[in-house]
Structure 1
Amino acid sequence: MRPASIVRFERVYLASILVWLINLALVGWGMSMDEVDRRFNGSPALAGNPQMFDVIVLAMMGMIGIVVLFWFLLCYFAARRASEVAKWIIVALLAVTLIRLPFLVMNLDAVGPWGTALNLIASLLGLYAGWLLFRPDAKAWFRASGKAVGQGE
């Protein structure tokens, strides 16, 4: 049985991924496509080969898929397998998120209020999820390598 902090971590971490994906769908993808289109039309090498636009879009979608898969795997190994390695990779990524927070606010004009708000919500959910990994019941669970400790699911 997993402790309550680990169950909550999993839910909050997955919620942060969901908010990030919503932000990408509502705000980020359109901005990315505008940037690709601007660069595509500004480059004679790319403008002469219209299929490259499709390749660029597919490459971006593939990279997003890989990143999301990586996040799901980290969540799975931390929340279901008590992996210390996954836990510390999550912490390292959250440290980057923490460093990035002021820049999110500074880019309000470029990203807009919705993009900034959704980015902040996803970041804060991720930071809260990371904090849950260091609660006493979660620490005990990781030390016991995922064996039943405390109350939870």
Structure 2
Amino acid sequence: MHRPPSIIWFERLFWASMIVGLISTAFAWADMQSTLEKSGSPFGMTSVAVTLAVFLAIPVAFWYAIARRGSNVVRWIYVIWMGFGVIMTLLSLFDPQNVNGIALGISLISTALSAASIACLFRGDAVAWLTGKAPVDPGIFS
């Protein structure tokens, strides 16, 4: 069975969110570095880079399982994972020590794209594809 339009839109929005998130990280890199130096943390920027790589690899694994393998279980894990991410982003708006300016604005765009990608997973064609059930044609009820 071919992938439905909602899954294709999920992929587009997912990758757009990832790219925008990387751009946001690039803008915030200097701020992260100075914050790390001021805190006197024994962990350097290498550990930050490794942590970022892990937190990029996890959503990519989710994407693969959802968009290429059609896993309904992973869809729910992705929704919960990204739901926490959306909540943390919104809470960061009230943290005065958080990154601000253009990096924050770009991060909010990335979060909106993630939320839109999640919405695609709950459209009728995507639900039918992920659950393995045939889609219902709404025209049969008219």
- TM class by shorter chain equals 0.7 to 0.9
Q: How many residues align?
A: 134
- Equivalent position amino acid for 2:32 in 1: S
Q: Which of 1 and 2 has higher RCO (CA within 8 Å, sep 6+)?
A: 1
Cα distance in 2 between the residues matched to 1:67 and 1:56? 17
- The gaps in structure 2 that reach 5 residues or longer are 136-142
Q: Which has the larger radius of gyration?
A: 1
C-alpha offsets along residues 64-118 of structure 1, whole Å, 9 cap, x if unaligned? 1111111111111111101122211111022213323432433478422212211
Aligned positions of 1:24-103 closer than 5 A: 24-27=25-28, 29-40=29-40, 56-103=44-91
- The gaps in structure 1 that reach 5 residues or longer are 47-54
Taking structure 2 as the reference length, what is the TM-score of the superposition?
0.83
Check whether the contact 1:104–1:120 (CA below 8 A) recurs between aligned residues. Answer: no
Q: Which one has a larger percent helix, Structure 1 or Structure 2?
A: 1
Q: RMSD of the TM alignment (CA)?
A: 2.2
Percent identical among aligned pairs is: 28
Deviates more, 1:112-121 or 1:10-19: 112-121
